[in-house]
Amino acid sequence: MSSANNDTAEATHASAAALPLGKTEHRAHPANHVWRLDDGRQTLVLTATAERLPQVVYWGAKLPKGEDLATMHTAHAIDITGGMLDENPDLSLCPEASRTFPGQPGLIVRKQDGTPLLPKFCFESAANGKDLSLKYRDEDNGLTLTFEFETDPETFIIRAKTIWNADAPVHLHWLAAPVMPAPQLSDEMIDFSGRWCREFETNRTAWSPGIRYRENRTGRTGHEHFPGLIVPCVGTSNTHGEAYAFHYGWSGGHRMVAEELPDGRRQIQWGHAARMETQAATEFSTAPLYMTYSDTGLNGCAVSFQRHVRDRVVTWPKPNTPRPVHYNCWEAVYFDHKLDVLNNIADRAAKLGAERFVLDDGWFGNRDDDTRALSDWEVDVRKYPDGLMPLIEHVHSLGMSFGIWFEPEMINPDSDIHRAHPDWALGAEDQTLGRQQKALNMALPEVRDFIYDRMAAILSVHPIDYIKWDHNRVLPMPDAAQTRGSYELIDRLRADFPDVEIESCASGGGRIDFGILKRTQRVWLSDSNDALERLHIQHNAALFLPLSITGSHVGPRRCHTSGRILDISFRAWVAAQRHMGFEMDPRELDDHEERVLTEVTSWWKYNRDWLEDADILRLDSPDPAVIAEQQMPQDGSRFVVFAGKAATSSQIAPRPLRLTGLDPKAMYTVVLANRATAPTLSRGTPALKDGPMTLSGAYLMHHGLTLPWSFPETMWVLEGQRV
Ligand code: DGJ
């Protein structure tokens, strides 16, 4: 990074002689400050006119070292014609309403008496180091803005945030993390919506003048609005082209603004949902905004996020221990806990290859269904007369570790704690319940202490290495203090029980973001254990999430959330694409199903050492019925391709599937791991049905592999090894 201070502001007006009467020519102001950030893949250049807030004048492929940033500043200025102001307002890191900015401002604040403030900031200081911190001051209103940027030369993620300080308490309505420009050679943006059992739906929206505005006011990250955005340049696919991607790392609800200004410029703003701070304050910080630029298609962004989550965001209690195969009893027994049944299920799960047994909802209070007992975190002596230890000891005797379910932020009106402390619940007394429950007010220290004590009482007397941490209802209203309270509770528990891993669950994937992932190690991506749905959900989630944190379980033969019946092989391979587990009642499995599940689980365990750190590369499938991905370690020495057939193809024969990221000159031996499962309707002799083949990276990437014909709802698994 370099910086320069040229105090060379010059007159804006040049001679008007050659211009038609009444017109003036305007020249761009020279830059007073320039800053440059490089991480080896991308360059970000910020410049500022005079003492004004800086703007991003370049973000993209890395620039040569000698690029003159002051020249870039003037080159970046856009022209002016009739109907425009005499100078274009900067699209700065925090566009100010006071500078006639024609779009959404980056900051909206009010005095304590409600009067709106119109801040105007001036340069104060810059701290240069590996990273960049810029301070700006509005003396009249007593406000300070600080922008922080951090680069990462290994993951290529830029982490940026805005911090705002006020001399006297004021009300914050909206504060954007550093505002970024979006590319002009892009005709659409991709963002994410979803619902229970169908998380990570992608939406493609065409750019047009005005705003694409998404605001999540549910108080949790939500199924409906994953805080991510990808802006691909024209022609970009999974494997080729340029793209810019963003993720806002906050679990309490966010706002995204993607706006095309009347002059054609585009801005991206991210922050907490508006008006989430209920009190006037003197300091506020946005959550980190994670962003990256890629010239290797959407996969370049995806791999950056995957690596960054795994290697920078998540903190692992036992980083060198392989991810254990899970068994979760929810869909086997629900609330009907009987020790002999659970012991029997544990025996069978261990035999199939499970290494961690997770006791789900139903072990506490008088929790016989979901109408009662949330917050009564004491073992139910009717179901466990001798406590949990007999079950835990049995699980341990089978070589599995033990995990347990909690839903700490929630309370049922029908619970001892609600009867004792009705005022601990968040929101109005007559609020509409969600799953018959309310949220606890996590901003209250006594509430946090109470939950901490109850959870600590369970964790300190039982050998438990894992919590499934659920959050099944949205909040009655958004309130940033609630999220801060949740974070504080998790942080305290983690500090006192550092060996316990936590899974973030919220009716499946309702709380997935890098803020919660700083405190947890796994996400329950969806309550859908339907492999067909999962194939789709986890493929899209891979745009942000790596294998090591993404739970995926083999569900019951007839899926409980879709009613679909799927073959065991398909169910097992889909789970093997991520952090594998089982969630069916193993007593329903026939011999064939047990054999297939055991085999796929051993395949997963055999490969997990490299799979856990592998990149998930989404393939450009020539057949919309096929959802395919390639998992490959960073050294490119091997790979596995999962080609899932999600529907019936419209053409009769499979189209060749192109691989990606290989060395074109290297040779690779490829083998179809499950070729023995080709259906008899596959009557031809594609070479892959016979055994291994050795082909060049160039062939595999530019022509692709011709897979055998297959039924819908099946998966081809292709293993490759660099020769
Ligand atoms: C919702 C979760 O997503 C399920 O997996 C299960 O844990 C239930 N809650 C338990 O109530």
Mean pLDDT on 151-157: 98
Cα(354) to ligand 1 centroid in Å equals: 20
- Any idea of the CA torsion for 334, 367, 424, 503, to the nearest 10 degrees? -30
How many residues are given for the chain?
Answer: 723
pLDDT, tens digit (0-9, with 9 covering 90-100), for 31-42: 789 999 999 999
Residue 335: DSSP 8-state: T
503 in contact with ligand 1, CB cutoff 6 A: no
470 is catalytic: yes
Quote the pLDDT of residue 27: 56
DSSP string, 47-78: EEETTSPPEEEEEEEPPPTT--HHHHHHHHPP
Q: Whose CA is nearest to atom 10 of ligand 1?
A: 361
Query: What does the alpha-carbon distance between residue 548 and residue 193 come to, in Å, rounded to a whole number?
Result: 23
Q: Is 524 in the pocket of ligand 1 (CB under 6 A)?
A: yes
Mean pLDDT, residues 327-333: 98
Residue 129 is predicted with a pLDDT of 67
pLDDT at residue 567 tops 70 = yes
Is the pLDDT at 25 greater than 70, yes or no?
A: no
pLDDT at res. 100: 94
Q: Whose CA is nearest to atom 9 of ligand 1?
A: 507
What pLDDT shows up at residue 7?
28
Q: Give me the DSSP letters along 297-349.
A: HHHHHHHHHHHHIIIII---SSTTSPPPPEEE-HHHHTT---HHHHHHHHHHH
Testing ligand 1's pocket by substitution, the residue of 337, 472, 502, 511 carrying the most ligand atoms inside 8 A of its CB is 472
Q: Is the confidence at residue 581, as pLDDT, over 60?
A: yes
Rounded to whole angstroms, the Cα distance separating 190 from 202 reads 6
pLDDT digits (tens, 9 = 90+) for 63-97: 999 999 999 999 999 999 999 999 999 999 999 99
Q: Do the Cβ atoms of 638 and 661 come closer than 8 Å?
A: no
Position 128 confidence tier, pLDDT thresholds 50, 70, 90 = confident
Number of H helices, E strands in the chain: 13, 36
Percent of the chain with pLDDT over 70: 96
* Mean pLDDT rounded to a whole number for the chain: 95
Q: Report whether 663 contacts 636 (CB < 8 A).
A: yes
**How far does residue 508's CA lie from ligand 1's centre (Å)?**
7
Given a cut of 80, whether residue 13 has pLDDT beyond it is: no
Selected catalytic residue, list 527, 530, 567, 585: 527
Ligand 1 centre and the CA of 5: distance in Å?
57
Neighbours of 65 (CB within 10 A): 9
What is the helix, strand, coil percentage profile of the chain, to 5? 20, 30, 45
Output the six-digit token pair for 355: 């290494």
Convert the pLDDT of each residue in 217-246 to its tens digit. Answer: 999 999 999 999 999 999 999 999 999 999
Task: Give catalytic status of residue 7 as yes or no.
Answer: no
| pLDDT > 70? residue 481 | yes
Closest ligand 1 atom, residue 468 Cα: 7
How large is the average pLDDT for residues 597-624?
98
Each residue's pLDDT tens digit, 184-218? 999 999 999 999 999 999 999 999 999 999 999 99
In terms of DSSP bridges, do strands 410-411 and 438-439 run parallel, antiparallel, or are they unpaired? antiparallel
pLDDT at position 12 is: 24
pLDDT average, residue stretch 484-499: 98
- Token duo for residue 165: 């300080």
Q: How many angstroms does the Cα of residue 367 sit away from the middle of ligand 1? A: 13
pLDDT single digits (tens) 260-294:
999 999 999 999 999 999 999 999 999 999 999 99
Place of tokens 């998930």: 616
| pLDDT surpasses 70 at 22 | no
Helix, strand or coil, per DSSP, at residue 143: strand
Protein residue with least CA distance to atom 2, ligand 1 = 507
pLDDT for the residue numbered 8:
27
Looking at 72-81, 127-136, 386-395, 590-599, which range is the least confident one? 127-136
**pLDDT tens-digit map of 501-556:** 999 999 999 999 999 999 999 999 999 999 999 999 999 999 999 999 999 999 99
Question: What is the reported pLDDT for 11?
Answer: 23
230, 190 in Cβ contact below 8 A?
yes
- The H or E element spanning position 466 is strand 466-469
Atom of ligand 1 nearest to the CA of 506: 3
**For residue range 614-653, what is the model confidence (pLDDT) as tens digits?**
999 999 999 999 999 999 999 999 999 999 999 999 999 9
Distance in Å, CA 575 to ligand 1 centroid: 18
Residue 3 confidence (pLDDT): 39
Give the pLDDT mean for 363-379. Answer: 98
pLDDT of residue 26: 47
